[in-house]
């Protein structure tokens, strides 16, 4: 029980200590800016009271106590005080109303003097004297509390003077506290201050209200002056300077012995939680001598000309060090929030009237919305993003590795080291940036939607990279390029690798770049291993320009340009994939192309180039393969639609693999045949471009479904020649619509077919093909064309099994159902008895008719002579009567018809063949749909 109680006691004590610490910490950080004056409360104990016809000066002459307290009662009338004159050693005479100095022969009190008002409303009218109350005396401590001071010429309460600080008759006090008083204007045209603590006099000035309005024509007017002293706290005072140009709130100064002959420093001064309004300066600081350790915090300074003005007269020996200005609300001042001359000031953590910080050339953040102006040599970052009571420290740019804060991107970079990470807050930065630090990561915290580098008002390049391994991520980068100028505009780039600099490992990711002649540009230096990914580029003459690159990856960018999307000159090992590229020259003046004649989405020259999974549209050319391009250039799985040229390889001298692209039409690219005829309804190809198979759908659909949406153009021996041809489809077709009721559009693309016939072996008759007919795999037909035509196949993406065709006894017109040529015996294996002699096959003869390119026949199990004896000259496959008419009634020469071939002779896709059956049987084909998407295309290049 004892142990449990002891443990509980320890826990309770520790918990209480922690709570006390936390509460104390919270209280220490809970200060608001500006004054908070509590209700007046006079001390209950006093030694002597003055009221009625009495005077404070009379009490000071007569009192003899140590540490006396004089209470001034409501009946006190300061007009009973008698102004007196004192003469300074230099002969200057000054009038005062009340003078407290225990070193004077007329005063015999000692220790700490307190003069206090009973109600806080008692008035001390200085009757036009230079000073209202003068405090003097060596080691004197005085407290002035609860009065309304007015009608003084120079100073309401004066503690310490430059007039011979060593003079026994005028020795400065040690400490003076001026609390809970009110100071009004005086009639003087001279220097006027409400309170002055100077020349070794320390103390506290708090809870005072100083109304300094209406002092027209004064040479210098202020609420208070703290000069050549130390350990003074000025807090929770309300100061209204009015709108006169010479008025200031709190003045702090050193004079370097200019007046007293003794150089006394000003040090350890705290000015906090004051409310200062109006005047020329809210706080004015001037140093001709030594000044150090000034702390200005939690003040509210508004409607002044300059909120804080700090001047070091270094040419006269003045020095200012250790000045700190923090947690102040500084707003609505007409010229400067803080200005310095010949010195530096730490002014971080202040509210400058805007969440965007103060206005200064070094602050590039949201320039149009900045707050108070500050001069040079002011360290203001971080600042508060709202007034002190709710504001949090904010810096637009932070070095994540060092914790340093900056008001511009360039300043952060200049102070960074190799490998640092610079984080940038949302906002607009009006600057251009040069990166001369290796392995630097420059990254926005909220992405390009909210973080902007705006170089439009400056011109030129926005970001220039001069070192390896620089990474730029998440910015909107804006320039001043005018769309109608085209190539005549001055060159500017959103991101530029410096000319002549060999760089490696650059990464530009998730940026939005607009209004430059070039969005991303690599100069004449060789770069390696660059990654350009997920950028949006618009309103540029060209998008990405490279020269002498190696290993560049350009991935998932959205590029809209006037002349060129991506250029890869002399660029090896280039991967361009998942980009959307639109090139449109309609916004460029006709005279502003600078000699360029061919807009292009992608322009490449180099070895080992992969262009895949891109959507490219251009008013001229999608992909231009330069003549200087090298080996292994591959352009696959791209959408090349809505353009004049899909690929221009007219100068390219090597094999160009451009298979499996969507050309904007299911009929494939627009291409020119050897006979000069153009076929295909898609984007045009020129040069030796290998485009078969092509995609019959946009590539994304193909990849998503994993289906081979393919179109084929079979080899040249499968073309339809002018006149009669046989025709078949080796696979199920997608489009069964017929041209004029003749041939499916899935096979030929235009209406050059005159007529087509099929043969019904069960009826031994011919019929003309009509709209209602269907051409299936294994079917053969006769077709008459007006001119030479290429055969292409648009394969069905729907599921279908390998075809089966019923063959009747006798002659049947068939087509092979395989995408590649097959040997006769393989193609007809389903009608050959397995394991039997070939003479036991169901078919006897397979014939390629003379209207095919090469007529031939193959017989099963017999030599040519035996077949001739068996069939004679009357044994021919049926021929449509129109074919006979076209031959002018001439009989076909047997020697032309029959060229006997062996069993390995091939059957070609899309051609028709005659097969003679001994009996009815089913012929099986080999093709099915949909075609698979080869696995190699499902793996993206890296």
Q: Kindly report, residue by residue over 221-252, the tens digit of the pLDDT.
A: 788 999 999 999 999 999 988 765 567 899 99
Provide the β-strand partners of residue 518. 493, 542
* Predicted local distance difference test score (pLDDT) of residue 487: 65
Within-domain flag for 682 = yes
- How many C-beta atoms lie closer than 10 Å to residue 49's C-beta? 16
- Based on the fold, state whether residues 208 and 161 are members of the same structural domain: yes
Within-domain flag for 901 = no
- Based on the fold, state whether residues 632 and 749 are members of the same structural domain: no
pTM over 0.85: no
Which of 654, 682, 713 represents a domain boundary (last residue)?
713
Q: For residue 358, count CB atoms less than 10 angstroms from its CB and return exposed for 0-12, middle for 13-18, buried for 19 or more.
A: buried
Within-domain flag for 916 = no
Distance CA 375, CA 377 (A): 7
Distance of CA 492 to the CA centre of its chain: 19
- Based on the fold, state whether residues 161 and 298 are members of the same structural domain: yes
Give the CA dihedral 394, 396, 400, 406, nearest 10 degrees.
Answer: -100
Within-domain flag for 329 = yes
Q: Is the dihedral of CA 70, 72, 78, 81 positive or negative?
A: negative
- Based on the fold, state whether residues 327 and 428 are members of the same structural domain: no
Summarize pLDDT for 577-618 with one digit per residue, the tens: 999 999 988 766 545 455 556 788 999 988 999 999 999 998
Contact 271, 234 (CB under 8 A): yes
Distance of CA 95 to the CA centre of its chain: 69
Distance CA 538, CA 238 (A): 56
- How many C-beta atoms lie closer than 10 Å to residue 111's C-beta? 12
735 Cβ partners below 8 Å, 6+ apart? 666, 744, 745, 746, 794
Distance CA 603, CA 562 (A): 14
Provide the β-strand partners of residue 359. 373
Going edge to edge, which strands form the sheet with 723-728?
723-728, 780-785, 753-760, 765-768
| SS3 assignment, position 768 | strand
Contact 424, 473 (CB under 8 A): no
Summarize pLDDT for 624-647 with one digit per residue, the tens: 999 888 889 999 999 997 678 999
Provide the β-strand partners of residue 932. 707
Residue 696: give its domain's CATH number: 2.160.20
What's the start-to-end Cα distance of the chain, in Å?
71
Q: Of residues 813 and 738, which shows the higher confidence score?
A: 813
- How many C-beta atoms lie closer than 10 Å to residue 857's C-beta? 21
Q: Which residue is it, tokens 């353009």?
A: 643
Do you know the residue count of the chain? 942
Q: What is the mean pLDDT of residues 199-216?
A: 81
* Predicted local distance difference test score (pLDDT) of residue 723: 85
Q: What is the mean pLDDT of residues 908-924?
A: 89
- Based on the fold, state whether residues 533 and 641 are members of the same structural domain: yes
Burial call 237-267: b when 16+ CB within 10 Å, e when fewer:
bbbbbbebebbbbbbbbbbbeebbebebbbb
Within-domain flag for 664 = yes
* Predicted local distance difference test score (pLDDT) of residue 739: 45
Q: Assign residue 349 a region: left if phi > 0, alpha if psi is -120 to 50, beta otherwise? A: left
- Based on the fold, state whether residues 309 and 205 are members of the same structural domain: yes
Within-domain flag for 68 = no
Distance CA 669, CA 674 (A): 15
Q: Count structural domains, the chain.
A: 4
pLDDT grade for 772, boundaries at 50, 70 and 90: low
Which of 770, 798, 826 represents a domain boundary (last residue)?
798
- Based on the fold, state whether residues 440 and 584 are members of the same structural domain: yes
- Based on the fold, state whether residues 461 and 487 are members of the same structural domain: yes
Q: Which of 210-214, 716-720, 810-814, 905-909 has the highest mean pLDDT?
A: 810-814
Distance CA 547, CA 545 (A): 7
Burial call 526-535: b when 16+ CB within 10 Å, e when fewer:
bbbbbbbbbb
Q: Which of 49-53, 677-681, 720-724, 835-839 has the highest mean pLDDT?
A: 49-53
To the nearest whole number, what is the mean pLDDT of the chain?
Answer: 83
- Based on the fold, state whether residues 751 and 689 are members of the same structural domain: no
For residue 817, which phi and psi values (nearest 5 degrees)?
-100, 65
| SS3 assignment, position 781 | strand
DSSP 418-456: TT-EEEE-SEEE---EEE-STT-EEEESS-TTTEEEE-T
Summarize pLDDT for 330-350 with one digit per residue, the tens: 999 999 999 999 999 999 999
pLDDT grade for 667, boundaries at 50, 70 and 90: confident
For residue 474, which phi and psi values (nearest 5 degrees)?
85, 35
Within-domain flag for 190 = yes
Instruction: Please name which of 749, 750, 721 lies closest in space to residue 850, comparing C-alpha atoms.
Output: 721
DSSP 544-558: EEEESEES-EEES-E
Contact 901, 857 (CB under 8 A): yes
Instruction: Please name which of 649, 918, 929 lies closest in space to residue 795, comparing C-alpha atoms.
Output: 929
| SS3 assignment, position 314 | helix
Within-domain flag for 793 = yes
677 Cβ partners below 8 Å, 6+ apart? 787, 788
- Based on the fold, state whether residues 707 and 737 are members of the same structural domain: no
| SS3 assignment, position 542 | strand
Which of 798, 823, 840 represents a domain boundary (last residue)?
798
- Based on the fold, state whether residues 248 and 198 are members of the same structural domain: yes
| SS3 assignment, position 869 | helix
Find the domain containing 13 and state its range.
1-27
3-state helix, strand, coil in the chain (%, to 5): 10, 40, 50
CA Rg value for the chain: 49
- Based on the fold, state whether residues 697 and 564 are members of the same structural domain: yes
* Predicted local distance difference test score (pLDDT) of residue 103: 86
pLDDT grade for 29, boundaries at 50, 70 and 90: very low
């Amino acid at each position: 029980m004892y142990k449990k109680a002891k443990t509980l006691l320890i826990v309770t004590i520790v918990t209480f200590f922690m709570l006390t610490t936390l509460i104390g910490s919270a209280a220490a950080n809970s200060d608001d800016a500006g004054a908070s004056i509590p209700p007046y409360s006079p001390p209950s104990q006093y030694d002597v009271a003055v009221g009625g016809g009495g005077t404070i000066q009379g009490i000071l002459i007569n009192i003899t106590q140590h540490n006396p307290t004089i209470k001034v009662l409501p009946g006190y009338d300061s007009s009973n005080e008698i102004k007196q004159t004192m003469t300074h050693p230099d002969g200057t005479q000054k009038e005062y109303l009340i003078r407290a100095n225990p070193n004077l022969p007329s005063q015999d009190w000692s220790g700490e003097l307190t003069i206090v008002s009973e109600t806080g409303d008692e008035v001390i009218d200085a009757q036009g004297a230079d000073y209202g109350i003068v405090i003097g005396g060596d080691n004197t401590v005085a407290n002035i509390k609860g009065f309304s001071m007015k009608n003084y010429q120079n100073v309401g309460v004066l503690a310490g003077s430059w007039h011979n600080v060593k003079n026994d008759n005028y020795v400065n006090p040690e400490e003076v506290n001026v609390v809970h008083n009110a100071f009004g204007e005086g009639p003087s045209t001279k220097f006027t201050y409400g309170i002055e603590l100077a020349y070794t006099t320390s103390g506290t000035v708090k809870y005072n209200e100083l109304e300094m309005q209406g002092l027209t024509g004064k040479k210098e007017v202020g609420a208070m002056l703290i000069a050549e002293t130390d350990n003074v706290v000025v807090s929770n005072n309300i100061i209204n300077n009015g709108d006169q140009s010479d008025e200031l709130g709190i003045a702090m100064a050193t004079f370097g012995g200019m007046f007293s002959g003794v150089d006394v420093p000003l040090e350890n001064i705290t000015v906090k939680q004051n409310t200062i309004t109006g005047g020329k300066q809210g706080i004015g600081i001037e140093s001709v001598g030594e000044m150090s350790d000034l702390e200005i915090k939690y003040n509210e300074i508004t409607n002044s000309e300059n909120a804080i003005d700090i001047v070091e007269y270094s040419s006269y020996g003045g020095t200012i060090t250790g000045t700190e200005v923090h947690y102040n609300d500084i707003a609505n001042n007409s010229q400067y929030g803080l200005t310095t001359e010949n010195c530096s000031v730490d002014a971080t953590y202040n509210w400058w009237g805007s969440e965007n910080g103060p206005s200064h050339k070094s602050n590039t953040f949201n320039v149009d919305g900045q707050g108070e102006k500050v001069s040079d040599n002011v360290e203001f970052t971080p600042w508060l993003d709202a007034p002190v009571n709710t504001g949090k420290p904010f810096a637009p740019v932070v070095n994540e590795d060092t914790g340093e804060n900056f008001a511009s991107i360039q300043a952060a970079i200049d102070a960074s080291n190799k490998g640092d990470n610079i984080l940038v807050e949302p906002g607009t930065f009006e600057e251009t940036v040069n990166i001369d630090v290796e392995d630097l990561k420059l990254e926005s915290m909220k992405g390009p939607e909210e973080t902007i580098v705006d170089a439009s008002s400056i011109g030129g390049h926005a970001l220039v990279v001069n070192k390896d391994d620089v990474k730029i991520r998440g910015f909107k980068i804006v320039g001043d390029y005018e769309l109608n100028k085209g190539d005549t505009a001055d060159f500017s780039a959103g991101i530029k690798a410096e000319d002549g600099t060999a760089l490696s490992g650059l990464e530009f990711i998730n940026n939005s770049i607009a209004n430059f002649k070039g969005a991303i540009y690599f100069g004449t230096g060789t770069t390696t291993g660059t990654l350009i990914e997920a950028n949006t580029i618009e309103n540029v003459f060209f998008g990405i320009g490279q020269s002498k690159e190696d290993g560049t990856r350009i991935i998932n960018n959205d590029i809209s340009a006037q002349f060129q999307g991506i250029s890869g000159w002399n660029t090896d090992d280039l991967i361009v994939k998942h980009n959307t590229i639109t090139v449109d020259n309609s916004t460029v003046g006709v005279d502003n192309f600078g000699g360029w004649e061919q807009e292009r989405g992608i322009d490449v020259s180099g070895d080992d180039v992969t262009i895949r999974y891109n959507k490219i549209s251009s008013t001229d050319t999608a992909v231009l393969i330069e003549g200087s391009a090298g080996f292994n250039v591959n352009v696959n799985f791209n959408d090349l639609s809505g353009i004049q040229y899909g690929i221009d390889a007219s100068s390219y001298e090597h094999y160009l693999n451009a298979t499996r692209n969507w050309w904007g039409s299911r009929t494939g690219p627009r291409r020119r045949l050897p006979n000069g005829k153009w076929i295909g309804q898609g984007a045009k190809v020129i040069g030796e471009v290998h485009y078969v198979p092509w995609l019959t759908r946009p590539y994304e659909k193909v990849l998503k479904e994993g289906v081979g949406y393919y179109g084929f153009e079979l080899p040249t021996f499968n073309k339809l020649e002018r006149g009669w041809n046989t025709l078949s489809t080796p696979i199920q077709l997608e489009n069964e619509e017929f041209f004029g009721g003749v041939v499916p559009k899935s096979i030929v693309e235009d209406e050059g077919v005159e007529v087509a016939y099929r043969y019904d072996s069960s009826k031994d008759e011919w019929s003309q093909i009509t709209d209602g007919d269907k051409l299936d795999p294994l079917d053969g037909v006769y077709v008459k064309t007006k001119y030479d035509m290429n055969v292409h196949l648009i394969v069905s993406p729907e599921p279908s099994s390998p075809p089966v065709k019923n063959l009747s006894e006798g002659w049947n017109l068939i087509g092979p159902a395989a995408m590649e040529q097959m040997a006769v015996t393989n193609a007809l294996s389903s009608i050959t008895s397995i394991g039997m002699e070939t003479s036991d096959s169901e078919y006897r003869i397979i014939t390629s008719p003379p209207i095919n390119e090469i007529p031939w026949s193959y017989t099963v199990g017999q030599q040519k002579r035996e077949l001739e004896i068996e069939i004679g000259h009357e044994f021919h496959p049926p021929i449509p009567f129109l074919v006979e008419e076209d031959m002018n009634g001439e009989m076909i020469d047997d020697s032309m018809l029959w060229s006997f071939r062996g069993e390995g002779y091939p059957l070609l896709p899309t051609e028709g063949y005659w097969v003679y059956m001994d009996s009815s049987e089913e012929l099986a084909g080999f093709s099915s749909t949909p075609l698979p998407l080869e696995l190699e295309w499902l793996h993206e290049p890296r």
